[in-house]
Amino acid sequence: MADTPTTFNPTYSIGGDLTVNRMGFGAMRITGEGIWGPPKDHEESIRVLQKTVELGINFIDTADSYGPNVSEELIAEALYPYPKDLVIGTKGGLLRTGPNQWPINAKPDHLKEALEGSLQRLKLDRIDLYQLHRVDPEIPFEQTLEFLQDAQEQGMIKHIGLSEVTIDQIQQAQKYVEIVSVQNMYSFDNRKWEAELMYCEDNAMAFIPWYPLGGGNLKALETLDQISQKHNASNQQIALSWLLHRSPNILLIPGTSKVKHLEENYKAASIALSEEEYEALNQAGSSTFTS
């Protein structure tokens, strides 16, 4: 069978009215080590953000906990006043007690403080996409959802998303608000959230995978190496390309603190996998992490 190139739609409409390029940018890595404090190279982080929009990327994902606060502050410093088509999604629901420490707090009083802080730091009157960073096991989910519902009714939030959630949790949230996006860990070699991806595709929700490479499946990585060499590309680029081919509702948010790496990630959107290559990655990656 001859290799047949595949195609994919390069854009997606979040919530039906925010059309973005599916290759976005995750702004976690522009902060300091351990996602704590300012970056080592402030000017390079500013250049990364400015290069992001120059490349045509118009979806940036961040959170109040990145730094904390630092990522949002850098975005405003580098890009405000924002391009008309730029969509900034941010998140709330985690505390920061030190480098690489992420306690959960999705209580309404904390989310209120986090949301108001994000609006101020980003210099926005309304967040286009506000995502709950984690469901808080210490309080009833309904309390968090009622806060999000109220904040949306007040006009502080346009659209609402969730992160690291099950189908049951998505459905529970839908009783209170419209959910337009889900951000779960997912990659070609880590399919733990496969059912959630399919649920999002079937229900017109964006699926935003984080940690898009690194499931640890050695067989999958061997296949990835072979296909990367064929395209003269990096493993990261092929893994990102596979995600774009995987489902039309997937939005990518690879992050970096270096312009060179940003440009390399962006090139993944121009890699056309053949049907055979796509299926080889699909099969190799699904042999583990399917539950």
Give the C-alpha distances (Å, rounded to integers) separating 227 from 201, 220, 237: 27, 11, 11
Return the bridge partners of 207, or none: 182, 250
For 123-213, where are the alpha helices, taking DSSP H only?
141-153, 167-174, 194-202
Write down how long the chain is: 291
Q: Are 126 and 96 in contact (CB under 8 A)?
A: no
Nearest to 268 by CA among 18, 55, 42, 116: 55
Q: Cβ distance 189 to 217 under 8 Å?
A: yes
Whole-number Cα distances in Å, 278 to 232, 244, 272, 273: 16, 11, 9, 6
| Residue 12 among the catalytic residues | no
The answer to whether the CB of 107 falls within 8 A of the CB of 55 is no
Give per-residue burial for 145-165: e unless 16+ CB within 10 Å, then b.
Answer: bebbbebbeeebbbbbbbbbb
Tell me whether strands 206-207 and 11-14 are parallel, antiparallel or unpaired.
unpaired
Distance separating alpha carbons of residues 40 and 56, to the nearest angstrom: 26
**24 φ, ψ (degrees, to nearest 5):** -105, -160
> Among the options 66, 130, 186, 278, which is catalytic?
66
Q: What is the DSSP letter of 51?
A: H
Active site residues: 66
